[in-house]
Amino acid sequence: MAKSPQKKSSAPASGNAVTADLVAVLVAVTDGTPKIVTIAGGSALPSGPFEFTHRSLQTALRAWVEAQTGHPLGYVEQLYTFADRGRSGDAKSPHSVSISYLGLTREDRVGEGFEAHWSGWYDYFPWEDHRAGAPSSLAKIIAPKLKAWAKAAPSPTLQRERWQRCAITFGLEDRDWNEELVLQRYELLWEASLIPEANHSRGREASVVPGKPMTADHRRILATGIARLRAKIKYRPVVFELMPAEFTLLQLQRSVEALAGRLVHKQNFRRLIEQQELVEETGAMAADTVGRPAKLFRFRHAVLAERAVAGTKLPLSRT
């Protein structure tokens, strides 16, 4: 640490200028479908430049999201910062830094008349929805292609290691599936050249996996967001940001299941929600429903003060 500029003040804005963009993964859940805001016909995540007028990164994000959708974001959280070599491939063009954020809203809070629209997130990651069991494309398409990729490794040992990695990451061969490994699965598919974005403009479109592609690394950012959210709902009461003011416990459960991509044991779910006092009854009952009517609940905002910091748990069963 001898020579280089260690203190910020010693090298102000010299040769290391870059451009900074904010990229947003804006999530909502509408009757059992997790959705994200997309632009350009669903091929990109909304993004905007980080400009001088913004006081902080989060301020910047909130500002342009609210300006463009007409409604405020609830929970906002930074995801990850990516750096790309100059876009045109020109070595002299500046670096670009993309700072990605996860934001939670509700679909009905976003205005009409914008280029943006909602897309189901499983359109981009069909292999991530295990609510009706492992998706058929997993066994039919993905697993065989991964197996072929594993077999293509130079040595038998490496072949075994590759396949083991695939099996663990995707929950193949009777292993249990871990819903949080969204990013690892995406990167594994990328490594196996099964993601169209990875094929560096060579025309081998045939050997890819189902799922809508996106511009640049936007699908990777989305994977990061899904993974983060799936992890977070287990210990923080963030699902409620995605719920309407009043809801039944089943609706809440369906939202959690939609995000997690897997089913939950109903009675245990209710037990956990209630014993943690996350919700309170409104007194009203749900209307327009088949079966026995359910009580309506609302989120107890008080818990944010009581336990802003402590934990919350959601049960995600394994079967």
Partner DNA sequence: CATCTTATGCTCACGGAGAGTATAAATGGC
Partner DNA sequence: GCCATTTATACTCTCCGTGAGCATAAGATG
Which 253-272 positions form the footprint of DNA (CB under 7 A)? 265-268, 270-272
Question: Which parts of 89-139 fold into alpha helices (H)?
Answer: 136-137
Residue whose pair of structure tokens reads 């995406």 in the numeric block = 186
Output 6 or 317, the one with its CB closest to DNA.
317
Output 9 or 267, the one with its CB closest to a second copy.
9
CB neighbours of residue 308 within 10 Å = 9
- Site pattern 146..185 for DNA (x: CB under 7 A): ----------------------------------------
At 194, which amino acid appears? Answer: L
| 183 membership: H or E segment, kind and range | helix 182-191
Position 91 contacts DNA (CB under 7 A):
no
Residue 82 · residue 217 · CB < 8 Å: yes
- Site pattern 50..69 for a second copy (x: CB under 8 A): xxx-xxxx------x--xxx
Q: Which listed option, DNA, a second copy, none, makes contact with residue 8 (CB within 5 to 8 Å by class)?
A: a second copy
Position 41 contacts a second copy (CB under 8 A):
no
Residue 129 · residue 51 · CB < 8 Å: no
Closest approach of a second copy to the CB of residue 298, in Å: 20
**Angle CA 195–197–198, to nearest 5:** 70
| Phi, psi for residue 290 in degrees, rounded to 5 | -85, 155
What's the rounded Cα separation, in Å, for the pair 119 and 65? 17
**Which residues make beta-bridge pairs with 171?**
none
Position 301 contacts DNA (CB under 7 A):
no
Output 162 or 254, the one with its CB closest to a second copy.
162
- Site pattern 128..167 for a second copy (x: CB under 8 A): ---------------------------------x--xx--
The residues binding DNA (CB under 7 A) are: 248-250, 265-268, 270-272, 286, 289-295, 313, 315-319
